A and B are shown apart, each in its own frame.
Chain A
Amino acid sequence: MKFIEIKNCYKVYQNGVTAIADLTLSISKGDFVFVIGHSGSGKSTLIKMLYREEKPTKGEVIVGGINISKLKNRNVYKLRRKLGIVFQDFKLLPKLTVYENVAFALEAMGLKSNEIRPKVLKALERVGLKEKVRSFPNQLSGGEQQRVCIARAIVNEPKLLICDEPTGNLDPETSKEIMKVIESINKEMGTTIIMATHDREIVNRMKKRVITIENGVLVSDDAKGRYVAHENV
């Protein structure tokens, strides 16, 4: 079985909008996959279903052996501990330092301080922020904040890293650096990466698998894809 299996999945919101219609795809362990599409195409819904922020209305979504539609609210944390999420708006806690922000997830899992410390420092080293451990998020640049967010996502060494437009708020130069970090995580840690993005340049340069979604329907799934959504519609 593949690491992520989506079978005949539908998502209809309460206001009647169909965000995803009859979507079927699978992703293997260690893959690097871009999900592209216009705003409102349903790609965010797809991403959100992977970490159970949304439930599919019909069909199956299975992530690492966990069936999303059957997962109870109080058990959502079990899924989230197995994956890391990187957000466009970073979602860092402003009152906590860089170190504390990354240690946050491990603390909640009840790890000892002396177990937490090496893990946090390792994650921060991987994203190249070891000197900024004591800084607060508002003292960092956007790119640095995104690195903290990535460090938090990988501190638990998850099998899957979900990136929801991680470069959406960053300039092209900084975006490049962030992509380097994400790519190295994919290569060195073997982490499966699913990244939703608008950034045509990044997609075309990386030459990875590209899944294109328009109006909730899968329009192309190309192993060495380019950003072609515009031409197709």
Chain B
Amino acid sequence: MKMFRVLGRNIRDAFKSVFRNFSLSIASITCSTITLILVAIAVVISANVNNATSELEKDLTIEVFVDLDLTNSDIEHIRNQIAALPNVSSDNITYISGEQWKNDLIHESDDIKAILETLETNPLRSSFEVAVDDVNELSETTQNIKKINGVFDAKYGEGKAENFIKVFDVIEKITIIIVVALIVVTAFLISNTIKLTIFSRRSEIEIMRLVGTSNTIIRLPFLFEGLILGIIGSIIPALLTIYGYVLSYDKLGGYVYSNIIPLIKPFSFVLYVSLFVMALGALVGMFGSYRAVRKYLKI
């Protein structure tokens, strides 16, 4: 009961302080709003790049063609050898027999059907479709597959997708660095604004200490103040994320650059991002005020 009473008084005091020092509060709210908007944008970009990368990676497979006139046990042997490679897991290997290729092609066009029917034997090689775990080692894995006995040839993409992924990797890393930097900046800004409000209340803190208020209780209203400032500052960024992303998703039709880069579906992605932004604002606000009060508590 005692705890709730103290807590209630502190929340009341925190709200009072936010409104009493209105101009300062506005300053720190604006600061956190701006930085949190940038954080939200960076998070959206980074998540989309990450998503696009994994989408592209799904399509990146190695085509392995085996020699003609192999027995079933030979093919099984090759499959095991490919599965044993470090970058390949056995679930990601799909076997397509020469007969299957033939059937597919026959259904595709009449010309090919005519040609294939004139031939006595099936000229099409059986193949494996191999998806790798790490795309960055795609070419190395391909070289290893080529060395396997009975493999006629192994190929992957045209190099385009690989380059895309490399660029995306760089973009993702840069956005992560930007997000971290912005978070630090926000913490410092909120910390500084709260330092100003505390400076104007330092005699109050001094008196509280002198009449026997514990440090925790002195700190509480300031922590709540930071929390309130952080949350208010994150409202606009959160709303902007939701409406902005949904709007641009609709405008762009779900893709950037025609069909190459798919965007993440807005729901529930925007909700996660805006929740993240709000939680971040609250945490950063609390951390900022914790730092700011410390000096006046002689710790």
Residue positions of A touching B, CB distance < 8 A: 51, 73-74, 76-82, 85, 91-93, 104-105, 107-110, 112, 152, 156
Contact = CB atoms under 8 A, between A and B. Distances in A.
Given A91-B206, A91-B207, A93-B204, A105 B299 contact: no
19 contacts: A73-B215, A77-B212, A77-B213, A77-B214, A78-B212, A79-B212, A80-B211, A80-B212, A91-B203, A91-B210, A93-B203, A93-B204, A93-B207, A104-B208, A105-B213, A108-B212, A108-B213, A110-B5, A156-B212
Shortest 8 CB-CB contacts between residues of A and residues of B = A80-B212, A81-B212, A105-B211, A108-B213, A110-B2, A77-B214, A77-B212, A110-B6
Contacts of B212: 77-82, 105, 108-109, 156
Interface string B170-194: 0000000000000000000000000
A51 B210 contact: yes
Nearest to B218: A108
A44 B262 CA distance: 73
Interface string B207-243: 1111111111100000000000000000000000000
A78 B213 CA distance: 8
Interface residues of B, number: 22
B297 interface: yes
A35 to B, nearest CB: 19
A93 B203 CA distance: 8
Interface of B: 2-3, 5-6, 9, 203-204, 206-217, 297-299
A85 B203 CA distance: 15
Nearest to A82: B212
Contacts of B207: 91-93, 104
Contacts of B209: 76-77, 80
Contacts of B217: 108
A85 B215 contact: no
A91 B299 CA distance: 23
Given A73-B215, A91-B203, A80 B210 contact: yes
Contacts of B203: 91, 93
Given A81-B212, A104-B207, A105-B212, 12 more contacts: A73-B215, A73-B297, A73-B298, A74-B214, A77-B212, A77-B213, A77-B215, A85-B210, A105-B211, A105-B213, A108-B212, A108-B213
Contacts of A108: 6, 208, 211-214, 217
Contacts of A82: 212
Contacts of B213: 77, 105, 108-109
Contacts of B3: 110
A91 B204 CA distance: 9
Contacts of A91: 203, 206-207, 210
A51 B212 CA distance: 10
B5 A112 contact: yes
Task: Point out which of B207, B208, B211 has the most chain A C-beta atoms below 10 A from its C-beta.
Answer: B211
Nearest to A80: B212
Contacts of A73: 215, 297-299
A105 B207 CA distance: 9
Contacts of A78: 212
Contacts of A152: 211
Task: Point out which of A81, A91, A93, A108 has the most chain B C-beta atoms below 10 A from its C-beta.
Answer: A108
A42 B231 CA distance: 49
Task: Point out which of A92, A109, A110, A112 has the most chain B C-beta atoms below 10 A from its C-beta.
Answer: A110
A6 B217 CA distance: 31
Nearest to B217: A108
Contact of A104 (B6, B211, B215): B211
A110 B216 CA distance: 13
A215 to B, nearest CB: 28
A123 to B, nearest CB: 13
Contacts of A93: 203-204, 207
B299 A74 contact: yes
A192 to B, nearest CB: 17
Contacts of A109: 212-213
A110 B217 CA distance: 10
A112 B5 CA distance: 8
Nearest to B213: A108
Contacts of A81: 212
A14 to B, nearest CB: 14
Nearest to B211: A105
B281 to A, nearest CB: 29
Task: Point out which of B2, B5, B6, B212 has the most chain A C-beta atoms below 10 A from its C-beta.
Answer: B212
